[in-house]
């Protein structure tokens, strides 16, 4: 399948809402699936498999509503080789603009002997019968011989030839248990495409699990061998170690286009927001070092790397995080950071340091960085403020007191200095939760209509004395702003992070406002 520019087009089949949802503890309700399906459509996937309609009324409803609501994306109903499953999947996808039925039936001896308790002949007959049944209702029928990579060519070819004869249009050959190696998986597709009668009449699809960490490499090998469909999940979520990760596959194809010479419809700028939404809705945190979407994926601590990046980003980065919608700063300030990185970071906040001030900041920074892993922006700004002898943040959170417990209400009192006005005030706030109470108190100090958007909490050390790190995202108008803080008291960390995010929002809004005012005065 080539697109209008003559480049082979790889169709991205997203199964986050079906195979991905099979990850332990990841289940989603109907409304969540609908929201995610809209997000996946915005990301540019070609097919969405929203669930297993026969498995529960909720899944049936989710597939049905997504079929009705989402335009421009193919919707796939999942079914065993069982009439009731097929009927349910056909009914659920009835109103889709474009639809597909995805039927699976095991083919490996171990599955036949212990799970299906069927002979090979019985499996082939059942596959024929059910594909032919499904074809009465739907044109596009995908067939998956489950555990294909442990099946062996002889029987695999027999099953595939049988379903092609009955009208299957897409053959998906899954590495169900994540057992294959890239060269084996690619070679299997090459043999199948050459040796299976009728293979020129169908399209091929890869579906890989990550038990040996090779799901992406295996899917890429299948693409090299000629498949045109790849089944993936956002963040690689799924059974056990998960599935082939959508974002890793898409960015490998985009970044190494020189090697693969294929294209997808994925919009890189939508990757990060989609990844965050999936992680939040499934309650599945993303590993810090996860490629593309992990929080460290574009962060650099080593002084030599920071210096190189500031001279030219390509020195240590092969992708541009901003192209992926990642709102993170590339440099993490810690004990390996040098003067160049410090000067650059404070300049981002509009503060120019002379050499003497930089030296003073550098000494204070190194002392702090030796005591803690990372120096956050608001801490750096406090140190820079000492170097230039004035407060650089609009507000300083001087004290926080939060009363919490298992009663109905929490209260907080925050002493906040307004650095521009030169005054200090104690604000009180309340809420059902302690963070809500602190946010309510801090919000009273700031006239701008700042909305609380998100809170991430991590434990950053072990044992009773462990510290918590909080990152708060706030929204002011269209813009999002982040603040991070670490404290032995996780509630104080959340309050400080909120204050840091608000300071960032206020500073940027006020400086944008004053630039507009300046322009208006000049004109």
Given the DSSP bridges, would you call strands 47-48 and 74-80 parallel, antiparallel or unpaired?
parallel
The count of residues interacting with Zn ion (CB under 5 A) is 1
By CB under 6 A, name the one of 14, 19, 59, 393 that touches ligand KIV. 19
Name the minimum Å distance from CB 162 to ligand KIV: 18
Contacting Zn ion within 216-245 (CB under 5 A): none
Name the minimum Å distance from CB 15 to ligand KIV: 7
Alpha helices in 202-336 (DSSP H): 215-225, 246-255, 257-260, 271-282, 303-311
Contacting ligand KIV within 87-116 (CB under 6 A): 104
186/238 with CB nearer ligand KIV: 238
Name the minimum Å distance from CB 273 to Zn ion: 25
Name the minimum Å distance from CB 239 to ligand KIV: 7
- CB-based contact 472:480 (threshold 8 Å): no
| Residue span 189-218 as binding mask against ligand KIV, x where in contact by CB under 6 A, dash where not | ------------------x-x---------
- CB-based contact 496:469 (threshold 8 Å): no
By CB under 6 A, name the one of 20, 51, 53, 174 that touches ligand KIV. 174
Burial environment of residue 118 by CB neighbours within 10 A (0 to 12, 13 to 18, 19 or more): middle
By CB under 6 A, name the one of 88, 93, 176, 276 that touches ligand KIV. 176
Q: Distance between CA atoms of 213 and 209, rounded to whole angstroms?
A: 8
Q: Distance between CA atoms of 224 and 218, rounded to whole angstroms?
A: 10
- CB-based contact 467:494 (threshold 8 Å): no
Name the minimum Å distance from CB 167 to ligand KIV: 19
Alpha helices in 444-489 (DSSP H): none
The count of residues interacting with ligand KIV (CB under 6 A) is 9
Q: Residue 127, Cβ neighbours under 10 Å: how many?
A: 24
CA angle 150, 1, 131 (to 5 degrees): 50
473 binds, among ligand KIV, Zn ion, none (CB under 5 to 8 A by kind): none
Residue 296, token pair as written in the block: 């460290």
| Residue span 111-150 as binding mask against ligand KIV, x where in contact by CB under 6 A, dash where not | ---------------------------------x-x----
Task: Give CA 171 to chain center in angstroms.
Answer: 28
Contacting Zn ion within 4-43 (CB under 5 A): 19
Q: Distance between CA atoms of 366 and 338, rounded to whole angstroms?
A: 9
* Residue labelled with tokens 């929201």: 35
222/472 with CB nearer ligand KIV: 222
Interface with ligand KIV (CB under 6 A): 19, 104, 144, 146, 172, 174, 176, 207, 209
Interface with Zn ion (CB under 5 A): 19
């Amino acid at each position: 399948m080539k697109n209008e520019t003559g480049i082979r087009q790889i169709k991205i089949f997203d199964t986050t809402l079906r195979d991905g949802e099979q990850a332990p503890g990841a289940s989603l309700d109907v409304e969540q699936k609908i929201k995610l399906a809209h997000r996946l459509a915005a990301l540019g996937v070609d097919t969405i498999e929203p669930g297993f309609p026969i498995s529960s009324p909720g899944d049936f409803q989710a597939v049905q509503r997504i079929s009705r609501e989402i335009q421009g994306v193919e919707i796939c109903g999942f079914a065993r080789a069982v009439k009731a499953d097929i009927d349910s999947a056909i009914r659920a996808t009835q109103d889709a603009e474009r639809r597909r039925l995805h039927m699976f039936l095991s083919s490996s001896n171990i599955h036949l002997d212990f799970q299906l308790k069927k002979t090979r002949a019985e499996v082939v007959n059942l596959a024929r019968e059910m594909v032919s049944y499904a074809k009465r209702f739907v044109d596009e029928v995908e067939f998956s011989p489950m555990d294909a990579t442990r099946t062996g060519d002889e029987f695999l070819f027999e099953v595939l030839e049988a379903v092609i004869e009955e009208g299957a249009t897409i053959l998906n050959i899954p590495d169900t248990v994540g057992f294959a190696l890239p060269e084996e998986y690619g070679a299997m597709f090459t043999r199948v495409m050459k040796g299976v009668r009728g293979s020129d009449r169908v399209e091929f699809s890869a579906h890989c699990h990550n038990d040996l960490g090779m799901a992406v490499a295996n899917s890429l090998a299948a693409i090299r061998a000629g498949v045109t469909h790849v089944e993936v999940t956002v963040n690689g979520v799924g059974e056990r170690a998960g599935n082939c990760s959508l974002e890793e596959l898409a960015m490998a194809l985009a970044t190494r286009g020189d090697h693969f010479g294929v294209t997808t419809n994925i919009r890189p700028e939508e990757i990060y927001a989609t990844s965050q939404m999936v992680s939040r809705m499934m309650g599945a945190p993303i590993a810090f070092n996860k490629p593309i979407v992990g929080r460290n994926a574009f962060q650099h601590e080593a002084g030599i790397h920071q210096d190189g990046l500031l001279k030219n980003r390509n020195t240590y980065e092969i992708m541009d995080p901003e192209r992926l919608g990642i709102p993170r700063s590339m440099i993490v300030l810690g004990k390996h950071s040098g003067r160049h990185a410090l000067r650059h970071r404070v300049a981002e906040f509009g503060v120019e340091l002379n050499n003497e001030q930089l030296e003073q900041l550098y000494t204070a920074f190194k002392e702090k960085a030796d005591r803690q892993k990372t120096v956050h922006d608001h801490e750096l700004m406090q140190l820079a403020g000492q170097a230039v002898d004035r407060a650089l943040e609009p507000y300083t959170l001087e004290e926080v007191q939060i009363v919490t417990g298992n009663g109905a209400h929490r209260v907080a009192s925050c002493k906040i200095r307004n650095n521009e006005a030169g005054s200090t005030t104690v604000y009180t706030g309340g809420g059902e939760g302690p963070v809500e109470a602190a946010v309510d108190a801090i919000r009273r100090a700031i006239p701008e209509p700042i909305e609380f958007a998100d809170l991430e909490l991590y434990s950053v050390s072990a044992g009773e004395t462990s510290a918590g790190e909080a990152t708060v995202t706030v929204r002011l108008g269209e813009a999002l702003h982040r603040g991070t803080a670490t404290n032995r008291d996780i509630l104080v960390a959340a309050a400080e992070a909120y204050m840091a995010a608000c300071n960032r929002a206020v500073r940027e809004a006020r400086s944008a406002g004053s630039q507009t005012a300046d322009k208006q005065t000049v004109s």
